[in-house]
Structure 1
Amino acid sequence: MKVGLANLQRAIGLAGPMRLLVTGLVLVLALMVGRYSWNMPFALAAERGLYDVRVDLSAPRIDQDDRIVLVVFTEETLAATGKRSPLDRTMLARALTNLDKLGPRAIGVDILIDQPQPEDPVLKQALLGMKTPTYFGFSSNAENGEFVMPWQEAHMRGFFGSVASAPVRTANIRLDVDSDNTWRQWPNPAQRPPKLLVGAITGVTGYERYRGSAMFRKPLLADRPVFASLPVDLFGNPDTAAALKDAIAGKIVLVGADLPEVDRFITPFTRISGATTPGVELHAVLIAQALDGRRLQPLSPVVLWGLALLAVVLGSLTGGLDSGARLLVPFAVIGIGLLGWLPYGLQGQGFDTYGMSCAGLGLGWLMALMASGTLARIVGAEQRKFAQGALGKYLPRDVAEQILRDPARLALQGERRPIFALFTDIEGFTSMCQSQPPEVVASTLNEYLDTMSDVVLKHGGTIDKFVADAVVAFWGAPLARPDDAARALACAVEMAQAGERFKVATPERPAMGRTRVGMHWGDVVVGNFGGEGRIQYTALGDSMNVAARLEGANKTLKTAALVSGEAASQMGLENFRAMGRVRVRGRQKPIEVYEPIGAGTAVDDKVLAGLYAAFERGDPTALAALRARSAAAPQDVALAYLIKRMEQVGPGGVYDLD
């Protein structure tokens, strides 16, 4: 938990306050889009379209509703009566008279009697003889001023006032549409009498102030529509009408027009089918819903806000997911699928999703994904920059870049690998620390370690650690290269040479002792060790110990650098001069040691190499020749000490180091 919080704090620090502020603002905007997309012009059309599709897909299929029958004027009716507009009132009068005799529960007429016609007396006479509660469509100038003029309203009031003694009443037949001319919801409640047709004809209460979405249904069978529809012509003749008694008795009959270009509405079904619906059928939809006593359950603001927040959270998590495509793509698909299914699933479960964001959820998800993804990339770039800088202090640049591209190459578990291990130390450093002020020691050591670090990285080595003035490095991990041997040798020589510069005092720092280098080649265990809270990439094993012992052996052998025979054979023995055979503390097996040419006083001397080989073969004259050669090079202290050891142990002997 502490590590996670620390990583989060580090990421916040890398992002910076301005980037966090901008990202936060975008996420807030994404949340608002996810909640209020129905109120945003750029998203409204998409929201309506998606709503229509989910209504169409989730509409239940039912058998024909036997409570409601449509009696309609069709094109055939108009052709027979010779009247298109207004609809023939004589035909209407005959049909109402004959329907009344068949015992319907109620009759609703979705036709406005809004202008005088010669057939009005016939219609009045028919209405005065009605026994069935009958409701004629009515609309006032106040509510529908675009289509109903004051004189039309006055005519309707006068006409129906003249038949007030009959069970004939007016009812509001308004069907409100959205700004895209699509009918989706119940009409606004009537502000003044008369009642809406649905309430008047059913007598069902509780819907007077209802303002939810209409509940659409689809036919179970293609040849049996939800509502039976009969041509009004069938009821113009008493004998024909009598044969339809079973189809009418006890049912609500709605009379209206089913014409291709008159009183037709776009509905959610139009989005897929392309077909419009006659207004009289929409009244039947409302009446059926009222008779069922059903309402779509509205979604509370808390739920709508929660869905918007869910979209933003999912988008943020997807955008900020630090993973490969194998996890990112499924996570994105699951998020998109969930957000896409929710509106359809809720609609199918009886919730009113009119006003619920669908496109907005997707857009909010996308905005959150882009915002968090951008921030994650910025933080990732800063982290990579920081990590590259940090790794660059311990790893060569090309190795660091490969590790950043493929972190798995930096083994989190231990693995056994052969490496060239290098240890360095400064002779007499402890004494210098005791004689110099702390700030001088610190600046001198930092300059020295910077120099040595640059040399290691220059030659492709991995810096394991610094132990006071000691540098520990290796080649062959975390990545091995074919020329690691050459790189390690060149580094050892240059480190020994670089150390010579620090043996000379300057005004800024005191003189330092000789830099000693030890190197060995062998198997070690490399990996990240130290526990979760303090992890370090390091190498463990006997080979590291041997390299450290060889570094210390320089003090006794008076050499600048010592390389084991195992390492020297990998690097090419022609690059070294032999320094005999020694046994170090903690290791019984003798070690052939070599000094690299160019380190300390070691030079490429084939004669010297030949004399040493002759001595090892038992040539008694070789030792005398070596003494003479050493006398001619008094500065080569390492050679003098080599001859001294040879005198002590003889050919093939081993010199024991304390």
Structure 2
Amino acid sequence: MKPPPQSGRSLTGWLRRGWRNVREAGGVQLTATVVVLIAAVFIARFSWVLPDGAEPTPLTSEAERALYDLRAYYAADLVEQDNRVVLVVYTDQTLIKARKRSPLDRGVLARTLRNLDGMGAKAIGIDILFDQPQDEDEQLIETLRTMRTPVALAYANLATNKDDIVYEQQQYLEQFQSEFTDTRTRPASIRLDNTFGATRVWPEIVPDLPPLLGRAMLADAGEPATGFAGYEGSIDYRRAKFVDAPLFAALQIDLFADADPEVLPFLADQIAGKYILIGGDIVDYDRVETTFTSITGEVPPGIAVHAEIIAQMLDNRHLAPIPNWVLWMMAVLVVLSAALTALLEWPARRLAPFLILLILSFIGIPALLQFRNVDTYGLPAVGWLVGWIIAFTAVTAAARASGAVQRNFAAGALGKYIPRDIAQAIIDKPELLSLGGEKREIFVLFSDLEGFTKMSHAIQPEMVAKLLNRYLDLLSQVVLDHGGVIDKFVGDAVVAFWGAPIARPDDGTRAAKAGYAIWQAGEHFRREVAAMDASLPPIGKTRVGLHYGEAVIGNFGGATRIQYTALGDSMNTAARLEAANKALESSVMASSEFAEASTLDWWRPMGRVQLRGRARPVDLFEPIPEFPGTDRETLARACVLAASDRAAAIRLVEDVADRHPDDSALRNLVKRMREMDEGGTYVLG
């Protein structure tokens, strides 16, 4: 009759159990957990930038910016060329032609402005700082004073652009701009925000600083962007729809400075009714990294960024900011979800899909908001993940602290029979020891102490117990040190296996080395007993049998008592191999299946035998690490020749045996070679 199925634990039950474990962790652990949870909330809120504008850590803030750049790039609108803004630019060719690199030729600019003034532009913005004198200044000043088209003239000062201007330059700049009182030329700030190495957001509005270049131009043209009056959010960059078509038309300034009068009407068609930005598009001059630079590698001129700001205002693409209280609420929810998940104490197989979904959510929610025209600059997506992990880890540690003593006791108890890593795995996954069995390929070890039963009749029971416990302690430690599972003790015999309940890639190597080490431990025990009491009968040698094959592994028994063990022919074969050592005059003997699966190269072939109780013969291999390689090869050839040319095989084995006169197993092999059947097999009696 099958037992009734156990009812599953409800979600509430899991949470109640987890909370009980947390409470039982103790006051110190609870206090530490609360402190860590508070820290996790702050990390989930401020992983990008701290309230004072500083980076919390370069690692998280760089990751946040990389994610922002990625979602901003793919959420950007694909547009054709924007004909509302035209760039009139100095290029490297312009500088070569003028034979003058810095400062930019103001005579060229003056002639250009005179020609532009009659072409019907809405407004002109000049992204060039006039911060040092030049021969053409009077000519340029006169032109700017007489302009009918409104002109916004670049302005910067030490307080906002300390990397671009020094005190003397600012003095000259202000003197230069003072020439345009009561004219249509006025100063405009060209300051851009390159915080964290790229221009991603509009510059902060600073009192007493002239309006931003784009704002000034729209106001002068009678199209003030009132919706952007206090805007300091992200620049909503766009992407060109066609690779070969830039977002803004760019005309070389030479076309206007030296234009033929007959050409001017055609140029006027390109200028009329548009915003004109004049500046440099030069390889090493005023280049600005943007939100897209980390993805495309392109570093546009600063004038192009001002053009994007103008286009954003004209399109009224005002990205909605995320309120500060929402960011705090999201941080708290992230940490709270981590704490609740930790209280559930789910196994890894159930937790993994949830974590994958969580990571996708942390990345997907900001991306979705970005596509919905929400300003996600400063949204801590990576911070959510880091905060979640920290909170989950803290609560998990607290929940498990109360059970640490019990688990250590259980691991210690199981560790007397199986390796501690396997014991811990069983504690974490008790279903590994569920009642029943399964077929597994395992490495089996069977050992026995020669003559111990006979000796036990000749000494006191107390001494028998003392010697047996010492012997089994030595052998058990060998098995556990090599990662094996102790199946059982049968008197002085030890049965162990590798490959269950957890299989590891090096189980064969572990089992082989354990078999050899058990024989060495037996020899150590013999010497130890002889030194302890000369009156004790001599201890026999330890014999070991090793086999690799299929067995049924599991817990067998009933409701009151079960035993985790292995059943099958593999166990019997290992026992037969152990017993065969006596007739073979050897100490450790393995089947060919075991030797091949162990991947070690220390095995020497020892012929083929018919074991008692087995229908199929077994090819024998003995572990002798120090045995010469050439002699191994000779023995291998002899074993191959045994079935077809017995005489040649015997001669080869005799040659090897002669080189190792003290090797009783080799002498025994010669004897067996002479007595084997026509198939090359020796039948053990």
TM bucket, shorter chain: 0.5 to 0.7
Which residue of the partner structure matches residue 20 of structure 1? 30
| 1:185 aligned residue | 201
Secondary structure of 2:228's partner? coil
* Counterpart code for 2:283: P
Given candidates 269, 282, 305, the residue that maps to 2:328 is: 305
Q: Distance in 2 between matches of 1:475 and 1:159?
A: 100
**Quick one: percent identity of the two aligned structures?**
39
Q: How many angstroms apart in 1 are the aligned matches of 2:395 and 2:234?
A: 37
Match of 2:383 in 1: 360
- Does the aligned pair in 2 maintain the 1:58–1:348 contact within 8 Å? yes
Q: 1:127 aligns with which of 138, 144, 150?
A: 144
2:320 corresponds to 1:291: no
Q: 1:8 to 1:58 in 2, by over 3 A?
A: same
Does the aligned pair in 2 maintain the 1:107–1:135 contact within 8 Å?
A: yes
- Equivalent in 111, 126, 132 of residue 94 of structure 1: 111
User: Cα offset for 1:362?
Assistant: 1.7
User: Which residue is equivalent to 1:230?
Assistant: 251
Residue 122 (structure 2) aligned to one of 105, 119, 129: 105
Q: Are residues 1:30 and 2:40 paired?
A: yes
Q: Give the drift of 1:160.
A: 3.7
1:218: Cα distance to partner? 1.0
Q: Is this contact kept in 2: 1:318–1:331, CA < 8 A?
A: no
Structure 1 pair 4/136, CA: closer, same or farther in 2 (3 Å)? closer
Which residue of the partner structure matches residue 209 of structure 1? Answer: 230
Equivalence for 2:154: 137
Structure 1 pair 142/23, CA: closer, same or farther in 2 (3 Å)? closer
- Contact preservation (8 Å) 1:63, 1:219: yes
Q: What amino acid does structure 2 have at the position aligned with 1:68?
A: V
Task: State the Cα deviation string for residues 253-306 of structure 1 (Å, max 9, x = none).
Answer: 000001111111121211122221211111111111222223211111222122
Moved more, 273-282 or 51-60: 51-60
Residue identity in the other structure for 1:122: Q
User: How big is the shift at 1:206?
Assistant: 4.4
The whole-number CA distance in structure 1 between the counterparts of 2:96 and 2:427 is 85
Preserved CA contact (<8 Å) 2:131 2:172: yes
1:228 is paired with a residue whose SS is: strand
**Matches of 2:16 and 2:187, distance apart in 1:** 74
Aligned residue number for residue 600 of structure 2: none
Residues 59 and 217 in structure 1, CA contact (< 8 A), matched pair in contact too: yes
Counterparts of 2:236 and 2:335, CA distance in 1: 31
Q: 1:221 aligns with which of 239, 242, 263?
A: 242
- Determine the C-alpha separation between the residues in 2 that align with 1:330 and 1:181: 37
1:196 corresponds, among 201, 206, 212, to 212
How far, CA to CA, are the matches of 2:564 and 2:28 in structure 1? 47
The one-letter code matched in structure 1 to 2:151 is: T
Structure 1's 67 and 407: CA in aligned 2 closer, same or farther, altered over 3 A? same
Amino acid at match of 1:303: V
User: Does the 8 Å contact 1:14/1:382 carry over to 2?
Assistant: no
Contact 1:107 1:253 in 2 (8 A): yes
Aligned 1:362-377 pairs, distance under 5 A = 362-377=385-400
Partner of 2:631: none
Give runs of aligned pairs for residues 482-561 of structure 1, distance below 5 A.
Answer: none
1:171 is paired with a residue whose SS is: strand
Specify whether residues 90 and 239 from structure 1 end up closer, same or farther in structure 2 by C-alpha distance, changes over 3 A only.
Answer: farther
For residues 357-416 of structure 1, give each alpha carbon's deviation from its aligned partner in whole angstroms, at most 9, with x where no partner exists.
122112112212322333344345456579999xxxxxxxx99x97984359779xxxxx
Residue 350 (1) aligns with residue 373 (2): yes
Q: Is this contact kept in 1: 2:18–2:344, CA < 8 A?
A: no
Partner residue in 2 for 1:74: 91
For 1:85 and 1:157, how far apart are their aligned partners in 2? 20
One-letter identity of the residue aligned with 1:27: L
1:7 equivalenced with 2:17 (yes/no): yes
Q: SS of 1:51's equivalent?
A: helix
CA distance in 2, matches of 1:143, 1:388: 65
Q: CA deviation at 1:6?
A: 6.1
| SS of equivalent residue, structure 1 residue 243 | helix
Contact 1:318 1:332 in 2 (8 A): no
Q: For residues 24 and 265 of structure 1, what CA distance do their matches in structure 2 show? A: 45
SS at match of 2:84: strand
Q: Is the 8 A contact 1:62 1:219 kept in 2?
A: yes
Using a 3 Å threshold, how does the CA distance of structure 1 residues 366 and 6 change in structure 2: closer, same or farther? closer
The alignment status of 1:339 with 2:356, answered yes or no, reads no
Cα distance in 2 between the residues matched to 1:155 and 1:402: 80
Contact 2:410 2:427 in 1 (8 A): no
TM-score, scaled to structure 2: 0.55
1:456-471 equivalences under 5 Å are none
Of 210-219 and 181-190, the range deviating more from structure 2: 181-190
> Is there any run of 5+ residues in structure 1 with no aligned partner, and where?
390-397, 412-473, 484-658
TM-score, normalised relative to structure 1: 0.57
Q: CA deviation at 1:475?
A: 6.6
Question: In the alignment, which residue of structure 1 is the partner of 2:430?
Answer: 406
Task: For residue 33 of structure 2, give the secondary structure of its aligned residue in structure 1.
Answer: helix
Give the SS at the match of 1:272: helix
| Residue of structure 2 equivalent to 1:152 | 169
What corresponds to 2:72 in structure 1?
A: 55
Q: What 5-or-longer segments of structure 2 have no aligned partner?
A: 1-9, 51-55, 413-421, 436-555, 566-685
